[in-house]
Structure 1
């Protein structure tokens, strides 16, 4: 598909991505989804390490540096600084997101949510080229004074996501600027900007999740989630 090919090339090219195995991020995550359940500081100044091939992310520096957490689709763990496992959640389910007001109150839920979210953020757009991900180009979208091209993606069950159907928006430089998806029973838009190259892979260093209105525009007053990548390496 021409648009997806352009997007992947703009982000570093598929041959380059295929040579990579691991990533390390220095990042902070904040927003009302965290603060309203008392987790305003849990994901500040974190190190996230993981695989570019499989959904696996380890967070170091939780709870003001006192704990670590590991996300895998089949298990979530919370550990102390010595590596001792404090809590485990086997075969986690996205059903916890149905509890909208306090879905992220539990540390295990928080690691699960941030694990698959960060992994999906980081591996897109290369993730969209998988043979089991179905993509189609939609009509362009006018965002303020810009025209963004769009891709609709359907994800298979073995890729953990907030919703199996998502719509991606790309600017004139083929860089991702927005992503529409379901979250906690509502429609949200993740806006991304400030793209930077790390190890020849171009990623957005800021992502902000906002609730969507019925006309497809975002409500800017309440920032549900803000992810800031301070540094990144790939190997």
Structure 2
């Protein structure tokens, strides 16, 4: 790992402590224009999310109905009853987004895929950067909001489902994450600037609890509106 990855991981609680846990859960409140644009407004506004920390899996519940939950994996997305019985599933879900633009509506299973991919990535950063098949290099610094942020270009492997294989992460001088940039491939490569703030500490691990995602211009600056997605987290619990 390069020194910026080491700094970021230590600033968020350290890899040794992180590796003691297998999953985490949190209460999730979401807003922004995206959900209505995709025809799914209100479906995941106020839910619980659970993500695995040692494999790529995530679940949102309730998913529309109180007794329904989602199950996201790279090669399969499903909706299940709370007892685990299958309602419907989508194999190789990434391919179902072929030809999509930002305005293309989603099915419930596509929503489950997007939301699961998003929250797994968000909650595993920066610790996922320690995986040997995740490559990164530091680029020139970036000035924003009166601060100078260190920039890390990250290349994710084909074995992980992420919004784009190449992403840019921005870190404050103390190693705290401030921003993530990516182009959402499954939504016509829509560019986003994803800001994080309001850190809290849980079992020695530090998490940002507020996230806001805005459009990003070709020169890397973000637009003040529309607010594409907002994410607020509380009641974060780490599970061994």
Q: Could you say if the C-alpha distance between residues 193 and 132 of structure 1 is closer, same or farther in structure 2, counting changes exceeding 3 Å? A: same
Q: Which residue does the alignment assign to 1:96?
A: 97
What SS does the corresponding residue of 1:216 show, helix, strand or coil? coil
CA distance in 2, matches of 1:98, 1:66: 33
TM-score under structure 2 normalisation? 0.92
Q: CA 1:133 to 1:42, structure 2 compared with 1: closer, same or farther past 3 Å?
A: same
The answer to whether the 8 Å contact 2:58/2:71 transfers is yes
C-alpha displacement of 1:214: 2.5
Q: Aligned pairs, how many?
A: 235
Return the offset for 1:208.
Answer: 1.2
Displacement, 1:230?
1.8
Deviation at 1:39, TM superposition (A): 1.6
**Structure 1 residue ranges without an equivalent (≥5):** none
Runs of 4+ residues over 3 Å off in structure 1: 80-84, 101-104
1:69-100 CA deviation, whole Å, 9 max, x = no partner?
Answer: 11111211112455432211112225506411
Residue 192 of structure 2 corresponds to residue 197 of structure 1: no
Structure (1/2) with the larger strand percentage = 1
Show structure 2 runs of 5+ residues with no match: none
1:104 CA drift (Å): 5.0
Q: Post-superposition shift, 1:213?
A: 1.5
1:35-63 CA-to-partner distances (Å, cap 9, x unmatched) read: 12332211122111231011111211122
Match of 2:219 among 215, 221, 225: 215
Q: Which stretch of structure 1 is more off in the superposition, 75-84 or 203-212?
A: 75-84
Deviation at 1:101, TM superposition (A): 4.0
Provide the residue aligned with 1:152 in structure 2.
153
Aligned-residue RMSD, C-alpha: 1.6
